[in-house]
C-alpha cells in the first residue's frame, strides 16, 4: 500500500478560512447538513460538537480527500498542487472530481488548462435554482492560486468576511446557442474541444459519453449540410413560382388555379425531400 504524501501546510488553513468553525449542525446554502469545518458525513439536525472534535473531523476529511487525489491523479504533483486539489475534493467530493474536465486535462499533462478549470466550479442549487455563490468564487480563486504555487491569501479580498460555502457544488452551466437557420446550424455544428469538454462535465461519466458527444456533433454537422442544400433548392423553386405568378399578372390576369397548384405541389415535393433526408440521417 503506497503512502500518501503529506499535504501542503497551507491546505488546512485554506479550508478552515472558507469553511469557518460551526459547533452546531446547520444547513449549507445547498441544503446539506454540515458541522465543524465543513464536515457533512452523518451530520444530523440538532447535533453539537466541540472544537477538538471539529479539528479531528477536519484532519480525517482532508486525509480522505488527499487519498482520492492520489488515486485519481496519474501525473506527478507538487505539494501545492496536491494541497489545492485536496481542498477542491474536500468541497466537491471525489465523484465530481473524477468526472471533471479539470482532472482530465491534468492527467493529460495540461497543467495550465487544469488550473483554468477551478473557476468553473462556483455554482450550487439553492431553493431549486442554480446560482453562482460568491464564497465559492473566492475559494476557487484561492485554490487556483495555491495550485499555481502562489499564496492563496492573495486571492481573498482584504477585510472580506468568508461567505457561506455550499457543500454540493456544480460546474458552470453549458450555454446552448439558439439556431435560427440552416446556415447557422452548419456553422455551429462543429464543436470545439473546450465545448465538448464542458458538455462532458454537464453530462457526467455515463458510459462512453465522449464518443457519443463527438458522434452526435458529426451527425448534426452532416444533417445541417443536407438541410442547407435542400433549403437552397426550396428558395430557388420559390423564386421560379414567384416569377411565373408575376408573368401571369403582367398580362392582366390573376394566377390561375393550375398555376397555384403547380407551385404548391413543387414546394410540397421539396418539403418531403427535406423530411426524407432528415429521417435517413438519423
- Sequence spans of domains, the chain: 9-155, 182-280
Q: Are 38 and 15 contacting, i.e. CB atoms less than 8 angstroms apart?
A: yes
Q: Can you give the pLDDT at residue 227? A: 45
Non-local (6+) Cβ contacts of 174 within 8 A are: 195, 198, 199, 201, 202
Phi, psi of 125 (to 5 degrees): -90, 115
Non-local (6+) Cβ contacts of 213 within 8 A are: 191, 196, 199, 200, 203
Q: Pick the catalytic residue: 19, 143, 144, 170? A: 19
Return the H-helix or E-strand segment holding 26: strand 22-27
Active site residue 19: yes
The burial of 4, by beta-carbon neighbours within 10 Å (0-12 exposed, 13-18 middle, 19 or more buried), is given as middle
Q: Can you give the pLDDT at residue 17? A: 94
Active site residue 47: no
Q: Are 227 and 277 contacting, i.e. CB atoms less than 8 angstroms apart?
A: yes
Q: Are 83 and 10 contacting, i.e. CB atoms less than 8 angstroms apart?
A: yes
Pairwise CA distance, residues 18 & 20, whole Å: 6
pLDDT in tens, 143-178: 999 999 999 999 998 877 677 687 777 887 655 444
* Helices and strands counted in the chain (H then E): 11, 4
Pairwise CA distance, residues 37 & 62, whole Å: 10
| C-alpha angle 7-12-17 in degrees, rounded to nearest 5 | 155
Q: Are 166 and 29 contacting, i.e. CB atoms less than 8 angstroms apart?
A: yes
CATH number of 9-155: 1.10.530.40
Non-local (6+) Cβ contacts of 92 within 8 A are: 100, 121, 169
Q: Which residue has the cell 408573368?
A: 247
Q: Can you give the pLDDT at residue 3? A: 63
Q: Can you give the pLDDT at residue 91? A: 95
Q: pLDDT tens string for the chain (282 positions)?
A: 456 677 889 999 999 999 999 999 999 988 999 999 999 999 999 999 999 999 999 999 999 999 999 999 999 999 999 999 999 999 999 999 999 999 999 999 999 999 999 999 999 999 899 999 999 999 999 999 999 999 999 999 887 767 768 777 788 765 544 444 444 444 444 444 555 555 455 555 444 444 454 454 455 445 455 545 545 554 555 555 455 444 444 444 444 545 445 555 555 565 666 556 555 555
Q: Are 83 and 63 contacting, i.e. CB atoms less than 8 angstroms apart?
A: no
What's the CA dihedral at 98, 99, 100, 105 to 10 degrees? 80
Amino acid at each position: 500500500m503506497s503512502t500518501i504524501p503529506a499535504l501542503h501546510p497551507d491546505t488546512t488553513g485554506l479550508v478552515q478560512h472558507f469553511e469557518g468553525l460551526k459547533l452546531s449542525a446547520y444547513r449549507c446554502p445547498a441544503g446539506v447538513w454540515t458541522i465543524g469545518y465543513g464536515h457533512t458525513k452523518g451530520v444530523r439536525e440538532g447535533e453539537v460538537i466541540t472544537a477538538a472534535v471539529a479539528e479531528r473531523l477536519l484532519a480525517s476529511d482532508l486525509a480522505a480527500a488527499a487519498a482520492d487525489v492520489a488515486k485519481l491523479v496519474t501525473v506527478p504533483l507538487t505539494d501545492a498542487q496536491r494541497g489545492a486539489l485536496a481542498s477542491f475534493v474536500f468541497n466537491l467530493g471525489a465523484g465530481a472530481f473524477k468526472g471533471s474536465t479539470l482532472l482530465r486535462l491534468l492527467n493529460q499533462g495540461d497543467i495550465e488548462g487544469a488550473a483554468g478549470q477551478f473557476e468553473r466550479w462556483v455554482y450550487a442549487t439553492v431553493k431549486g435554482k442554480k446560482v453562482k455563490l460568491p464564497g465559492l468564487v473566492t475559494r476557487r480563486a484561492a485554490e487556483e492560486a495555491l495550485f499555481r504555487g502562489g499564496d492563496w491569501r492573495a486571492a481573498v479580498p482584504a477585510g472580506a468576511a468568508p461567505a457561506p460555502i455550499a457543500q454540493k457544488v456544480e460546474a458552470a452551466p453549458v450555454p446552448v446557442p439558439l439556431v435560427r437557420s440552416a446556415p447557422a446550424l452548419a456553422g455551429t455544428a462543429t464543436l470545439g474541444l473546450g465545448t465538448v469538454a464542458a458538455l462532458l462535465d454537464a453530462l457526467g461519466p455515463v458510459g462512453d459519453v465522449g464518443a457519443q458527444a463527438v458522434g452526435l456533433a458529426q451527425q448534426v454537422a452532416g444533417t445541417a449540410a443536407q438541410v442547407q442544400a435542400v433549403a437552397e433548392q426550396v428558395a430557388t423553386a420559390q423564386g421560379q413560382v414567384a416569377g411565373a405568378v408575376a408573368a401571369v399578372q403582367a398580362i392582366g390576369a390573376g394566377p390561375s388555379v393550375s398555376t397555384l397548384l403547380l407551385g404548391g405541389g413543387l414546394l410540397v415535393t421539396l418539403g418531403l425531400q427535406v423530411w426524407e433526408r432528415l429521417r435517413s440521417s438519423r
